Amino acid sequence: MKPILSHSDYKTIHTLLQNLPAHLKGKEVSQLQLEIKKAEIIADRAISEDIIQLNSRFEVIELSSGKTMNFQLVLPHQADLKQNRISILSPLGVALIGFRQGMTVEWMLPGGLKKLQINRVQKDSPITGNPAASSQTVQV
């Protein structure tokens, strides 16, 4: 399966990865680099709203446990688990970026290999905040 990214999300993620301090470049960063390298990049206006992109809200179900999770995918400085906002650099963020509602994604997460079904995707407007904060504080 090949992820689908909008041109602006590709540029944002690519810039984030290039500017990330070396001590923060771990396994997830390497996996995200591989994912965006193989992604299909399409025009922003052509991206379907049922594809998980930056700022998308989505619901996934972990198939073996039946656990349902709802999150919004955001840049690292916007991540806040209390508000269900996860970073693009988190294992789940890397696993799901660019995949569409209805798809099942198999990915190695901290709890082991998981099968995740994407039940719902909703495009949301960007979260405003200080973009400079991304170089100071990174939550994964």
Query: Would the pTM of this model clear 0.95, i.e. be above it?
Result: no
* H or E segment to which residue 70 belongs: strand 67-74
Report DSSP state, residue 36: H
**Spans of the chain below 70 pLDDT:** 125-140
pLDDT for 3: 95
pLDDT for 107: 86
Q: C-alpha 55: how far from its chain's center? A: 9
pLDDT for 104: 95
pLDDT for 125: 66
d(CA 91, CA 32): 9
pLDDT for 108: 84
